[in-house]
Amino acid sequence: MTSPLSFTRRLALSAAAVLTLSASSVAWAQAPIVIKFSHVVAADTPKGKAAEHFAKKAAELTKGRVKVEVYANSTLYKDKEEMEALQLGAVQMLAPSLAKFGPLGVKEFEVFDLPFIFSSYESLHQVTNGASGKMLLSKLEPKGIRGLAYWDNGFKSFSLNAPIKAPADLKGKKMRIQSSKVLEEQMRALGSLPQVMAFSEVYQALQTGVVDGTENPISNLYTQKMHEVQKNLTLTEHGYLGYAVIVNKKFWDGLPADIRGQLEQAMAQSTTYANAIAKVENDTALAAVEKSGKTTIYKPTPAERLAFKKALVPVHQKMESRIGKDVIQSIYKDAGFSPDKL
C-alpha cells in the first residue's frame, strides 16, 4: 500500500503504537483503557453524534473501565491518514465512509457506491443487517481490521453553482468525490470531471473554484457550510453514504473478554441510535439550508429522476470486473434491486 504519511510520521506512529501496546497490560489494572476514536466530520453530524453516544455507552456498560476519546472534524487524522494510523495502532477506532475500503484493497465495498442501488433505508438495511453485510466486514480482517457495525449517514444529492435538472447539467463540471473508482465512473457517465479530495478541504475548494460542485448527504453539506458556496442543490438522492465502524484487530482481540462483550453491547445500542437519527438529521439540515436562503433547492420530477437513473445505472455493469459480479448480484437480491426495472 502506498503510504500518504511521511517516513518520519510513520516512525512516530509506530513508536506510539508500540508504547501503547507495551503499556496496556499494566495500564488495564490501574487506569481505564483508552480508545481513540477519530473521524473527519463535524461533531453535530449523525456520525459525530453516534460516536459521542458510543463513548457514553462504553463508559456506562464497562463501569468506567473504558474511556473513549472522540476526535471529530479531522482534528487527529485526515481522510488519507486515518486508515494507516489505525493499522499501525496509533488510533484504535474509526468510522470511515465505505468508499475508503477500495483504496485499501477491499474493492467489494465499492458496491455501496453504485448509484441508485438502494431505493430506501429499508432496502439498505436488508444488506447492512444481513449476511452480505457481514461477509463484507469479514474481508477487512486480513488487513488487521475488525469491522463492528454499519452506520448510516444518508443519501447523496448533487450541488453546484448552476441549476441541475438533467444529467447534461453536470457535463464538464469539476465534481469532488471520495477516492472510489465507482464514483469516478459515475461522474464520467455524466460527463463530469471527477476530483478526488479530502473532505476537510472541500469547502475551500468550492469557495475558490478548484471544484465546481459535490455530492453529499444534506447533513454533511450543511454542517461543513458548503451550502454557503453552492447556489443550487438538487435532491437526486442518487447514492448512499454510510460508514463502517472499525477497530484495530490486534487491539480488539487483546481486550479482556468481558470488556469486549460490553463494548459490543455499546456498539449495538449506538448503531440503533445512529441509524435512527440519520434521516432526522438530514431532514433537519435540509430545512436549515432552505431557511438560510443561500441555496436554491430543487426536487426532480419523476421523469427527471428517471433520466438520472438511466444515465447512471449502466455504471453497475462497468464495475462488475472490479467489485465482482457475484457481490453485486448478492446486493441486488438483498436490496430488492433490478436494473431491468427502472
pLDDT per residue over 29-50, tens digit each? 569 999 999 999 889 888 999 9
> How many beta carbons lie within 10 A of that of residue 73, not counting itself?
18
**pLDDT over 50 (residue 23):** no
What number is the average pLDDT over the span 195-204?
Answer: 94
pLDDT of residue 6: 60
pLDDT of residue 8: 58
Q: Comparing 114 with 30, which gets the higher pLDDT?
A: 114
**pLDDT over 50 (residue 61):** yes
Instruction: Name the band, by pLDDT with cuts 50, 70 and 90, for residue 143.
Output: very high
For 258-328, list the strands marked E by DSSP. Answer: 296-298
Please report where in the chains the cell 463540471 appears, as a residue: 173
pLDDT per residue over 294-337, tens digit each? 999 999 999 999 999 999 999 999 999 999 999 999 999 999 99
Strand 232-248 to 145-160 pairing? antiparallel
Lowest mean per-residue pLDDT among 24-33, 222-231, 275-284, 311-320: 24-33
What number is the average pLDDT over the span 184-200?
Answer: 96
What number is the average pLDDT over the span 126-135?
Answer: 95
